[in-house]
């Protein structure tokens, strides 16, 4: 099957950033890119033609950090607590939990997710005592929007104690009298997650993957780097989804579990022992890097920094020691894995770079392309090391539009180190972009492109780090060519060039010369994967 798109704005994202009028695909590959005049010479009776009427064609978008395998894997009893669910106050949350308690069996878990204290009128977390009052007999866990914190009641904490789970004291919040508030951060939170009924069965996971793939394709995302979640259950469900034909989005999967520090260490060891390493798989489902969560959340204020976070006046620790990171990463690097780490704060970023550098010096390997997910608060002094080591920061520009006001509150004295896109560009550092959905709802790459260009917090209309704005073509590369590079696939996708996979998106309008506000309003009209309109 041949299909010719002509009379359009074909943005190739090749090395020359070429713009053409026409593109032809045959079966699953691109066979021509050039002018409409030249393209018409290739038409025959088997060619379907599409007049673009000036609309843009771009490479299929690649989201390099998205929790696509677990985003829709919610049990029917999970309570949603986001602002979009009508949650505006502490009382709104408590009322929802009260209703759930009335419907629950004795001792049945009640799990809520998606709340943010920053979005509540009281600007505070729920407390253990408030939950105990309305749910004295049911274990309750309310997961923060960041995914890095939760509030539990006494019944939930007693279950952990009964199972001899020792929550790390530094991650358990206490009031001025030393009494637990119910707020658990980082390691303590993730350890409690393992005790909750959060892990769905394979059928729920597969159904969630099928549903989320449809959402990805509507946004023009043809490839996603799954940021992990349930370890073995995630990997198994992705493969089952592929075998069943419901995995419609190309996936490069990070090997990670959210169930705490010890579980991450075991997951990494198991991956190394398996003998398979990064790159195993095919164009639809491929094994990616081993991932470790080195610190906490930027929006939660739990990332590991050198300077205290404003308004909190505290420095949060890393989740792993330097020695622990070294042991994991050196072993995995030696075994042929790409490495990555969730590292948001400057302290955590530097520790991860230390480990990567040791691994590469001990066991030299050509072009390992190790990554740092988020690389959120990155000072200029670390740029030369990132460049020298060939490390790929994976920023999330959409965060600025969604949470810029929070970042201004926490890091107001360092805003030009917050997602420093222009400095990365000036230093010649490749920056693939990711949305980090399900942490934010706004997964559309054009939303992220606009965010990278204007750096505007949409709730306050304030610019966050003016000096770090980048241009349209650089932002587009973050969601296309750079994304393919991050998974060692730049020779087969990421740009519209002859011989590459026919993964592309047709927009509802032209896009060149548009402002960020105009870009946000442009829709994805059609998405093609391997030449098929999905």
For residue 1, count CB atoms less than 10 angstroms from its CB and return exposed for 0-12, middle for 13-18, buried for 19 or more: exposed
Is the distance from CB of 31 to CB of 498 less than 8 angstroms?
A: yes
> Does a structural domain hold residue 343?
yes
Model pLDDT, residue 468: 98
> Does a structural domain hold residue 74?
no
Q: Is the domain of 160 the same as that of 210? A: no
Percent of the chain with pLDDT over 70: 99
CATH of the domain at 231: 3.20.20.140
Q: Is the domain of 236 the same as that of 348? A: yes
Model pLDDT, residue 193: 82
Percent of the chain with pLDDT over 90: 81
Q: Is the domain of 432 the same as that of 489? A: yes
Q: Is the domain of 514 the same as that of 481? A: no
C-alpha–C-alpha distance, residues 284 and 297, integer Å? 31
C-alpha–C-alpha distance, residues 350 and 371, integer Å? 13
> Does a structural domain hold residue 160?
yes
> Does a structural domain hold residue 461?
yes
- End-of-domain residue from the set 195, 229, 262: 195
CATH of the domain at 55: 2.30.40.10
Is the distance from CB of 25 to CB of 31 less than 8 angstroms?
A: yes
Q: Is the domain of 36 the same as that of 84? A: no
- Tell me the two tokens of residue 414: 């360092």
pLDDT, mean of residues 220-224: 98
243 Cα distance to chain centroid:
25
> Does a structural domain hold residue 408?
yes
> Does a structural domain hold residue 180?
yes
Q: Is the domain of 379 the same as that of 421? A: yes
Q: Is the domain of 375 the same as that of 500? A: no
Q: Provide the pLDDT confidence category of residue 113 given band limits of 50, 70 and 90.
A: confident
Residue range of the domain that includes 315: 62-69+200-493
Is the distance from CB of 137 to CB of 177 less than 8 angstroms?
A: no
Look at the chain and report how many structural domains it folds into. Answer: 3
Is the pLDDT score of 194 beyond 90?
A: no
Q: Is the domain of 181 the same as that of 206? A: no
Is the distance from CB of 171 to CB of 189 less than 8 angstroms?
A: yes
pLDDT, mean of residues 27-52: 94
> Does a structural domain hold residue 357?
yes
> In sequence order, what DSSP letters do the residues of 168-209 get, joined into one string?
-GGGEEE-TTS-EEEEEEHHHHHHHHHHTTT---HHHHHHHH
Q: What is the pLDDT of residues 139-157, one digit of tens each?
A: 999 999 888 899 999 999 9
Q: Is the domain of 186 the same as that of 248? A: no
Q: What is the pLDDT of residues 54-92, one digit of tens each?
A: 999 999 999 999 999 988 877 657 888 988 889 999 999
Q: Provide the pLDDT confidence category of residue 183 given band limits of 50, 70 and 90.
A: very high
Higher confidence at residue 473 or residue 171?
473
Run of H or E including 250: strand 250-255
Q: Is the domain of 448 the same as that of 511? A: no
Beta bridge partners of 432: none
Q: What is the pLDDT of residues 241-294, one digit of tens each?
A: 999 999 999 999 999 999 889 999 999 999 999 999 999 999 999 999 999 999
> Does a structural domain hold residue 14?
yes
**Collapsed DSSP state (helix, strand, coil) of residue 523:** coil
Q: Which residues neighbour 196 within 8 Å (Cβ) at sequence distance 6 or greater?
A: 109, 111, 139, 141, 156
Report how far apart, in Å, the C-alpha atoms of 322 and of each of 328, 381, 392 are: 10, 20, 20
Pairing between β-strand 56-59 and β-strand 504-507 as defined by DSSP bridges: antiparallel
CATH of the domain at 170: 3.10.310.70
Q: Is the domain of 354 the same as that of 278? A: yes
Model pLDDT, residue 449: 98
Run of H or E including 100: helix 90-103
- End-of-domain residue from the set 142, 172, 195: 195
- Biggest CA–CA distance in the chain, Å, is 81
Q: Provide the pLDDT confidence category of residue 170 given band limits of 50, 70 and 90.
A: confident
Nearest to 85 by CA among 45, 43, 124, 115: 115
**Collapsed DSSP state (helix, strand, coil) of residue 86:** coil
- End-of-domain residue from the set 195, 222, 238: 195
Q: Is the domain of 21 the same as that of 156? A: no
Is the distance from CB of 143 to CB of 114 less than 8 angstroms?
A: yes
Angle at 150 between CA 147 and CA 153, to 5 degrees: 160
């Amino acid at each position: 099957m041949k299909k010719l798109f002509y009379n359009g704005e074909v943005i190739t994202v090749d090395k020359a950033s070429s713009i053409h009028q026409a593109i032809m695909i045959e079966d699953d590959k691109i066979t021509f890119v050039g002018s409409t005049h030249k393209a018409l010479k290739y038409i025959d009776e088997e060619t379907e033609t599409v007049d673009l009427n000036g609309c843009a064609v771009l490479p299929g978008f690649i989201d390099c950090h998205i929790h696509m395998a677990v985003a829709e894997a919610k049990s029917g009893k999970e309570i949603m607590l986001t602002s979009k669910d009508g949650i505006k106050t502490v009382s709104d949350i408590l009322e929802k939990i009260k209703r759930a308690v009335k419907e629950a069996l004795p001792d049945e878990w009640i799990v809520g997710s998606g709340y943010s204290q920053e979005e509540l009128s009281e600007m505070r977390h729920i407390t253990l005592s408030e939950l105990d009052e309305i749910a004295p007999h049911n274990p309750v866990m309310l997961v923060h929007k960041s995914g890095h914190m939760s509030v539990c009641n006494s019944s939930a904490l007693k279950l952990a104690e009964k199972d001899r789970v020792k929550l790390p004291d530094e991650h358990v919040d206490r009031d001025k009298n030393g009494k637990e508030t119910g707020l658990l951060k980082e390691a303590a939170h993730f350890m409690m997650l393992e005790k909750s009924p959060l892990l769905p069965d394979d059928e729920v996971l597969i159904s969630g993957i099928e549903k989320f793939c449809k959402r990805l394709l509507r946004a023009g995302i043809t490839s996603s780097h799954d940021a992990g979640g349930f370890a073995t259950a995630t990997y198994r469900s992705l493969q089952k989804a592929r075998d069943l034909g419901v995995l419609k989005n190309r996936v490069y999967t990070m090997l990670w579990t959210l169930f705490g520090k010890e579980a991450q260490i075991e997951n990494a060891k198991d991956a190394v022992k398996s003998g398979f390493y990064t790159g195993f798989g095919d164009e639809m489902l491929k094994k990616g890097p081993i991932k470790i969560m080195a610190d906490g959340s930027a929006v939660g204020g739990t990332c590991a920094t050198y300077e205290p976070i404003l308004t909190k006046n505290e420095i949060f620790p890393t989740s792993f020691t330097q020695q622990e990171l070294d042991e994991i990463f050196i072993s995995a690097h030696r075994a042929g894995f790409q490495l990555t780490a969730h590292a948001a704060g400057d302290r955590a970023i530097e520790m991860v770079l230390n480990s990567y550098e040791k691994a590469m010096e001990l066991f030299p390997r050509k072009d390992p392309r190790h990554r740092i997910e988020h690389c959120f608060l990155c000072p200029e002094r670390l740029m030369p090391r990132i460049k020298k080591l060939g490390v790929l920061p994976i920023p999330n520009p959409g965060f600025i539009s969604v949470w810029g006001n929070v970042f201004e509150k926490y890091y107001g004295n360092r805003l030009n180190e917050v997602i420093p896109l222009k400095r990365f560009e000036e230093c010649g550092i490749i920056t693939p972009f990711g949305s980090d959905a399900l942490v934010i709802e706004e997964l559309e790459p054009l939303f992220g492109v606009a965010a990278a260009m204007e750096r505007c917090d949409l709730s306050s209309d304030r610019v966050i780090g003016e000096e770090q704005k980048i241009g349209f073509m650089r932002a587009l590369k973050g969601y296309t060519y750079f994304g393919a590079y991050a998974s060692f696939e730049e020779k087969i996708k990421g740009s519209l060039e002859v011989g590459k996979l026919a993964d592309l998106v047709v927009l509802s309008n032209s896009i060149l010369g548009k402002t960020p506000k105009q870009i946000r309003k442009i829709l994805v009209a059609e998405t093609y994967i391997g030449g098929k309109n999905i």
